[in-house]
Structure 1
Amino acid sequence: MKKHIILGALLMLATAGYAQVDRSIQPKPGPAPEINLKDPTSFELKNGLKVMVVENKKLPRVSIQLTMDNPLIVEGDKAGVASLTSSMLGKGSKNIEKDVYEEEVDYLGANIGFGSQSAFASGLSKYFERLIELTADAGINPNFTQVEFDKEKERLIEGLKSNEKSVSAIAGRVQSVLAYGADHPYGEFTTEETVNNVTLADVNKFHSDYFRPNNGYLIIIGDVDFDNVKKIVTKNFKSWKKGNIPETPFSEQGNASTTEINFINMDNAVQSEIAVQNTVELKMTDADYFPALIANNILGGGGEARLFNNLREDKGYTYGSYSRIGSNEKTVTRFSATASVRNVVTDSSVVEIVKEINRMGSEPVSAEELANAKAKYTGNFVLALERPQTIANYAYNIESKGLPKDFYKNYLSNIDKVSQQDVKNAASKLFKGDNARIVVTGKGSEVIDNLNKVVINGKAVPVKYFDVYGKAIAKPEFKKELPADLTVNKVLESYIAAIGGKDKIAAVNSVYIKAQGTVQGMTLDFELKKTTKEQFVQNIMMGGNSLSKQVLDGETAYMVAQGQRKDLEGDDIAKVKAESSPFPEVNWLSGGATLEGMEKVDGEDAYVVKVDGGKMAYYSAKTGLKLQEVSVQEAQGQTFKTTIVYSKYQDVGGIMFPFTLSQSLGPQAIEFNVTEIKVNEGVSDADFE
């Protein structure tokens, strides 16, 4: 009984104590946690290489990071030389053949990678000496061969070509050009022309000029002993010679005098890429640094931030909207607020983004927003400390950026000191909503009329036009009037005549097409079979194994992806049937297609035909041939587009077929080159089982 009385009394006391807590009042945050970062032990070689060592015995691993803090480089008409240098480093050395080098790295279970002015390695600490030897040898004594150079050059050009029609890639390029200028290290860009200007001698010279110890920092973290590190590093890096590091002059482009829209037309865009941006002068040693981090986090730091809540959660304009701000000791950096939005809401999104930017500098953030931003920084900072690369970067920043030795030890306390007024002041100074460049990359025929009507703070915003390389141009012609007597059937009949005529097409019962393409250096085989009996099979293979397959036998259909089969039903079967005809335009003559207008496709006037299911087909106004097909889907506020471009038509049995099929989904593009086409042969009912 006594035991129960005592227990009851304790419960009453606990309940009374609970009742005294006012849950409507947010608890005051405690003091910022103390950060105990171990200071590195350092030494310097005679050639100027600074070495920092952080001993960490928790795990038997070691990480090695080599960085050269050189002046910023303008590559000019040889833009791409740094990228080629980076891709060729780490492929063996003058002392070790490429295959032998790579096999040994794999055997050690290690990772070794290079940038044009950096290197990184990680692995078990028992192999530390060999990791240092391999890293030093490949970095200081690279074996740059013409064969490897030609391979890397071809790969780089292939990547550039795949981005030629990527709206996001072109948007990013022009945003940088307009922010910094095309002759600035952060504004210049690589093209096929500049890559073709680069020779193997240029790569050797770039490496000789910039891969030097003068401004080098070697940071080693892990289960190592300082004295042993000093001995091994000295042995392997003492022969690395100093050099005169070239400096390339560049200018800094100023911000716009007043807010303006900079528009880049992309006829294939199904959504607009928006960046509201301005350059800023911000260093990590500035008083505004920590308030700027908090201000940016509240504005566009993630799913809880203002931009995200406004444009996605409230308006449903986009899948996400974010902002970022950089810091740099060598030049100006950039603040930008970005979003990818549906064409129809491009102008409204611009207005909302600028509104949120201006609100940051005109009114204080709430206490809750400030507290949440600080908590997020604290969590991310603490988690990042588990990664050796983080510690290495901190050590590098302190040495190269002139930071106080206790900068990161006091990082969280400095975050904690930021006030609401500090955030407002920093945003007002750095987020320049009143003289921002609003860079919009999108489909002019659908968005430009509304963009020309944008009004911000009672003022009409001027629109200026730029090409895909950031050069100012006159306003393009976005729309052309269709001929008064033109109908969709006339467009389709023109196409049928262009590829061979009705009689030739009427004699076709089946078509068999084989093609081959490459993606990331891997070969893909494409096979397509169609019949007039609503039979269809499309198979994409790699190494003889099917990656994706669709089959229609006339009534039932299925698809196979990654070895998993799925039977199709209803609308999905109807979509495959719509693709099954060797020449679906013949069927569209009887209905299911509408003429939408005229647009440019790679600079060529094209008639736009919309067919059931939302697919758009584009036919040359000059030749009648089909130039491309675009299929669009929307999910969770984001638009997904698949484009197939048809080119290089050739005659096969009196019928013109495209021999190049370029398929793109978002930024990914694959070009298939047709190797074989058969008409009325090579196809049987067994193919569609």
Structure 2
Amino acid sequence: MKTAFNMNTKIVAFFALFIMTISANAQIDRSQPPVAGPEPEISIDKPEEFTLKNGLKVLVVENHVLPRVSYSLRIDNSPIATGKKAGVESLIGSMLGNGTTTISKDAFNEEIDFLGASLNIGISGGFGSSLTKYSDRILELMADAVINPLLTEEEFDKEKTKLIEGLKSDAKSADAIAGRVGSALAYGTKHPYGEFVTEETINNVTFGDAVAFYEKNFNPNNAYLVVIGDVEFKDVKKKIKKYFKDWTKSVDVNTTVPKPSPNVQYTQINFVNVPDATQSNISLTNNVNLKMNDPDYHAALITNNILGGGGEGYLFKNLREEHGYTYGAYSRLGTDRYGASRFNATAKVRNAVTDSAVVEAIKEINRIKTEPVDPQLLKDAKAKYVGNFVMALERPQTIASYALNIKLNNLPEDFYTTYLQKINDVTVEDIQRVANKYFKTDNLRIIVVGNGADVLGNLEKTGIPIMYFDEYANATEKPKFEVKLPEGVNAKSVMLKYIDAIGGKDKVEALSSILLKYEASAMGSTIISEEKRMDGKLLQTIFMNGNAMMTVLTTQEVVTMNKNPLPENMVADMKPLGGLFTELNLLNSDNAKITSIEQVEGKDAYKVQVSGEVVSLAYFYDVETGLKVKEVQTTSMQGQTQSQEVVLKDYKDFEGVKFPATREGSQMGQLIVYKLLEAKLNAGVTDADFK
């Protein structure tokens, strides 16, 4: 009976609502837009706070909705430059959170996994999270890791090797170069925000340097611990005092953050040549002094959003939707409490449209400075910020971060309760005023990282002065793209010499199939790389601990990855890879050109470039021996560029044909060395393998 009553009640309620809806609709005047509802009232509860005797400041936000607790530690030291030992902070940071003086690294990590928790410590703080019933133990482990880290020279040497390998992996990355050069030119290489890490600076750092950096800078003097979740204030206060009371207060580190380099006197292109780049990384930037407590702050947020905050921004609509130059174009107007930040408009574009993209980006920046913004666009931008702000308030972490922001940025107590009002008070005139104040189109650095041979000619036609820099922001001369080659040397002759060096054209062309297997060890796993080759076909499979992880099939018709077809433009670019030897496919290709003579492993090598729309190939052949000593495959898709570089060594003879016995390459910052296990000629491969 109870179920029937509930059902009848619901039916009656439904029909009542239906009739009310019809009645209401009949009275609505569709010619008039609906009146906006009242702005939501913003009420933000203040976290409860206390401070330990050692200076650690604690903020607690109770939230009992879920049985979870998180602890966020922030070491709020002023930025410092580490000069000739740049990277010391990364080295010591990577060692923290890996065991303590009382708990081994393995036991420490195993316990965290067993509890289903997370705990990470770095040089600027840490984060721990767990279910409520384990929160006491996670807090204890965090305190132990902070106060008594396990710092050993053996671990230091491992982290040093990993960091250096990561730098080598990024050496030819246009994204990494653009980030490094952009910061160095904007702030200066002696500024904390402008200095960068190199293999030389890492090698300058000793284990003693790393420990001394920790002891000087990782202390509770300027530390904040934010606790969020299913806790009782009195209880968590008692536990924090218990676990963190032995964290020793140190001498205050008083540093003055230097002023960044001044903006350039006139707009200029700062060009960095990356010969392998298949697209250009563009950044239009100038320094700004904008802080969260500035009167312009809220108007600056909306102004940047309209210019380049997303799919509705001026930059995106022009460079992507109107012209199709890029997958995305965005801008950022940064804030910094030390007065050192940047306006930055960025895009990654095809080589052929690099100059046009620069011109159009400048046009859009000038547009927001000179033309009043459309009132509806302004209204939409405000609505976006209001929606995001209100949604963020649903997360307890937001309350804590807002409270910390107020403290660190010297904000008024009502900064967030009046936030929406200040957003909605932004006017069309404010947008134009702020754009003119912070977007310096007469003092822009237009940083372009790309293939000079492809893009410089058209960039010069823009009439914007061009200055040249290397990948470490050192001023340099304009690159020369004409390669002086010995008489008779060209891409075809170099590849023919390679074929002769590995056994001769007759021997190579007599082959019907090739099977190669290479083995490597990495991340505790055994990796097998297998290649099967026939005329016009290539099957590459990567096995990890005996399981096939990735399979790439390349023929003259299709390219598939794990049996999924890749885009047609990739197929066109990767066709040369399908076959017994790539060089046989490229001998008569107009697309294969010698672009430079570079050193590989200390010896001169001809670089043969094969440019594609999505995938570009670069092969390096030893000038003296003719053997191929390096391969680089660069893929550019959806605004992202990735390069895979392999060094080939120790050629060995198999039935009269030579293959490299060693292949070395970096993956995720780790050097992986493959050794040749097996080479079969005219055996072990059939047409069925390529189905």
Instruction: Quote the offset at 1:451 in angstroms.
Output: 0.8
- Find the residue that maps to 1:434 and give its secondary structure: coil
Cα gap change, 1:206 to 1:489, in 2 (>3 Å): closer
Q: Does structure 1 conserve the Cα–Cα contact (< 8 Å) formed by 2:276 and 2:451?
A: yes
Name 1:680's counterpart in structure 2.
Answer: 681
What aligned pairs does 1:191-230 form with structure 2 within 5 A after superposition? 191-230=198-237
Name 2:250's counterpart in structure 1.
Answer: 243
Partner of residue 325 from structure 1, selected from 310, 326, 333: 333
Could you tell me which amino acid in structure 2 is paired with residue 22 of structure 1?
S
- CA–CA distance in 2 between the matches of 1:363 and 1:568? 44
Instruction: Quote the offset at 1:538 in angstroms.
Output: 2.0
Instruction: Quote the offset at 1:572 in angstroms.
Output: 10
Alignment root-mean-square deviation, CA: 3.6
After superposition, the C-alpha distances for 1:362-420 in whole angstroms (9 at most, x for unaligned) are 22211111111111111211222233332222121111221112211221121111111
- CA–CA distance in 2 between the matches of 1:611 and 1:321? 23
- CA–CA distance in 2 between the matches of 1:394 and 1:306? 30
Instruction: Quote the offset at 1:216 in angstroms.
Output: 1.1
What's the TM-score once normalised by structure 1's chain length?
A: 0.87
The answer for unaligned runs of 5 or more in structure 2 is 1-15, 600-604
- Find the residue that maps to 2:291 and give its secondary structure: coil
Name 1:450's counterpart in structure 2.
Answer: 458
Name 1:457's counterpart in structure 2.
Answer: none
Instruction: Quote the offset at 1:35 in angstroms.
Output: 1.6
- CA–CA distance in 2 between the matches of 1:259 and 1:84? 38
Partner of residue 545 from structure 1, selected from 514, 530, 547: 547
What aligned pairs does 1:50-449 form with structure 2 within 5 A after superposition? 50-247=57-254, 250-449=258-457
Q: Does structure 1 conserve the Cα–Cα contact (< 8 Å) formed by 2:483 and 2:596?
A: no
Establish whether residue 650 from structure 1 lines up as the match of residue 646 from structure 2: no
- Find the residue that maps to 2:43 and give its secondary structure: coil
- CA–CA distance in 2 between the matches of 1:687 and 1:54? 63
After superposition, the C-alpha distances for 1:264-316 in whole angstroms (9 at most, x for unaligned) are 00011000000001110011100111111111111111111111111000000
What aligned pairs does 1:583-662 form with structure 2 within 5 A after superposition? 583-586=581-584, 588-589=586-587, 591=588, 593-594=589-590, 597-600=593-596, 602=598, 605-608=606-609, 616=617, 618=619, 620=621, 622-623=623-624, 624-626=626-628, 638=639, 645-648=646-649, 650-653=651-654, 655-659=657-661, 661=663
- CA–CA distance in 1 between the matches of 2:329 and 2:553? 39
Could you tell me which amino acid in structure 1 is paired with residue 300 of structure 2?
A
Cα gap change, 1:157 to 1:235, in 2 (>3 Å): same
Instruction: Quote the offset at 1:551 in angstroms.
Output: 6.0
Instruction: Quote the offset at 1:668 in angstroms.
Output: 8.9
Partner of residue 22 from structure 1, selected from 3, 27, 31: 31
- CA–CA distance in 2 between the matches of 1:556 and 1:82? 51
- CA–CA distance in 1 between the matches of 2:613 and 2:70? 57
Cα gap change, 1:551 to 1:618, in 2 (>3 Å): closer
Worse-superposed segment, 9-18 or 176-185? 9-18
State how many pairs are aligned.
Answer: 667
- CA–CA distance in 2 between the matches of 1:7 and 1:541? 62
Q: Does structure 2 conserve the Cα–Cα contact (< 8 Å) formed by 1:32 and 1:416?
A: no
Instruction: Quote the offset at 1:165 in angstroms.
Output: 1.5
Name 1:492's counterpart in structure 2.
Answer: 495
Cα gap change, 1:248 to 1:472, in 2 (>3 Å): farther
- CA–CA distance in 2 between the matches of 1:289 and 1:569? 44
What's the TM-score once normalised by structure 2's chain length?
A: 0.87
Could you tell me which amino acid in structure 2 is paired with residue 122 of structure 1?
S
Name 1:3's counterpart in structure 2.
Answer: none
Could you tell me which amino acid in structure 1 is paired with residue 504 of structure 2?
G
Q: Does structure 1 conserve the Cα–Cα contact (< 8 Å) formed by 2:490 and 2:594?
A: no
- Find the residue that maps to 2:442 and give its secondary structure: helix
After superposition, the C-alpha distances for 1:471-504 in whole angstroms (9 at most, x for unaligned) are 1111111233777866664343233234343354
After superposition, the C-alpha distances for 1:611-637 in whole angstroms (9 at most, x for unaligned) are 99986554548344446666677767x
Could you tell me which amino acid in structure 2 is paired with residue 314 of structure 1?
E
After superposition, the C-alpha distances for 1:150-182 in whole angstroms (9 at most, x for unaligned) are 222222222222111211111111111111111
Could you tell me which amino acid in structure 1 is paired with residue 341 of structure 2?
T
Could you tell me which amino acid in structure 1 is paired with residue 27 of structure 2?
G
- Find the residue that maps to 2:551 and give its secondary structure: strand
Cα gap change, 1:416 to 1:551, in 2 (>3 Å): closer
Q: Does structure 2 conserve the Cα–Cα contact (< 8 Å) formed by 1:72 and 1:247?
A: no
- Find the residue that maps to 1:37 and give its secondary structure: coil
Q: Does structure 1 conserve the Cα–Cα contact (< 8 Å) formed by 2:519 and 2:677?
A: no
Cα gap change, 1:221 to 1:601, in 2 (>3 Å): farther
Q: Does structure 1 conserve the Cα–Cα contact (< 8 Å) formed by 2:622 and 2:629?
A: no
Q: Does structure 1 conserve the Cα–Cα contact (< 8 Å) formed by 2:68 and 2:130?
A: yes
Could you tell me which amino acid in structure 1 is paired with residue 68 of structure 2?
R
- CA–CA distance in 2 between the matches of 1:259 and 1:613? 32
After superposition, the C-alpha distances for 1:202-242 in whole angstroms (9 at most, x for unaligned) are 22111111111111111112221111122111111122111
Q: Does structure 2 conserve the Cα–Cα contact (< 8 Å) formed by 1:508 and 1:679?
A: no
Could you tell me which amino acid in structure 2 is paired with residue 264 of structure 1?
V
Q: Does structure 1 conserve the Cα–Cα contact (< 8 Å) formed by 2:88 and 2:202?
A: yes
Instruction: Quote the offset at 1:48 in angstroms.
Output: 1.3
Cα gap change, 1:628 to 1:194, in 2 (>3 Å): same
Instruction: Quote the offset at 1:587 in angstroms.
Output: 5.3
- CA–CA distance in 2 between the matches of 1:127 and 1:164? 43
Instruction: Quote the offset at 1:463 in angstroms.
Output: 0.3
After superposition, the C-alpha distances for 1:572-619 in whole angstroms (9 at most, x for unaligned) are 999998545333434555x5x225543136565534457999865545
Instruction: Quote the offset at 1:356 in angstroms.
Output: 1.1
Establish whether residue 36 from structure 1 lines up as the match of residue 37 from structure 2: no
Could you tell me which amino acid in structure 1 is paired with residue 369 of structure 2?
G
Q: Does structure 2 conserve the Cα–Cα contact (< 8 Å) formed by 1:526 and 1:672?
A: no
Could you tell me which amino acid in structure 2 is paired with residue 548 of structure 1?
M
Q: Does structure 2 conserve the Cα–Cα contact (< 8 Å) formed by 1:322 and 1:338?
A: yes
- CA–CA distance in 2 between the matches of 1:572 and 1:338? 25
Cα gap change, 1:600 to 1:487, in 2 (>3 Å): closer
Cα gap change, 1:656 to 1:244, in 2 (>3 Å): farther
- CA–CA distance in 2 between the matches of 1:548 and 1:167? 26
Q: Does structure 2 conserve the Cα–Cα contact (< 8 Å) formed by 1:79 and 1:189?
A: yes
- CA–CA distance in 2 between the matches of 1:397 and 1:322? 25
Name 2:56's counterpart in structure 1.
Answer: 49
Q: Does structure 2 conserve the Cα–Cα contact (< 8 Å) formed by 1:606 and 1:621?
A: no
After superposition, the C-alpha distances for 1:68-115 in whole angstroms (9 at most, x for unaligned) are 211112121222211122211111211222222222222322211112
Worse-superposed segment, 473-482 or 182-191? 473-482
Cα gap change, 1:390 to 1:588, in 2 (>3 Å): same
- Find the residue that maps to 2:514 and give its secondary structure: strand
Partner of residue 530 from structure 1, selected from 530, 533, 544: 533
Cα gap change, 1:655 to 1:64, in 2 (>3 Å): same
Establish whether residue 468 from structure 1 lines up as the match of residue 459 from structure 2: no
Establish whether residue 479 from structure 1 lines up as the match of residue 482 from structure 2: yes
Cα gap change, 1:688 to 1:556, in 2 (>3 Å): farther
- CA–CA distance in 2 between the matches of 1:28 and 1:655? 81
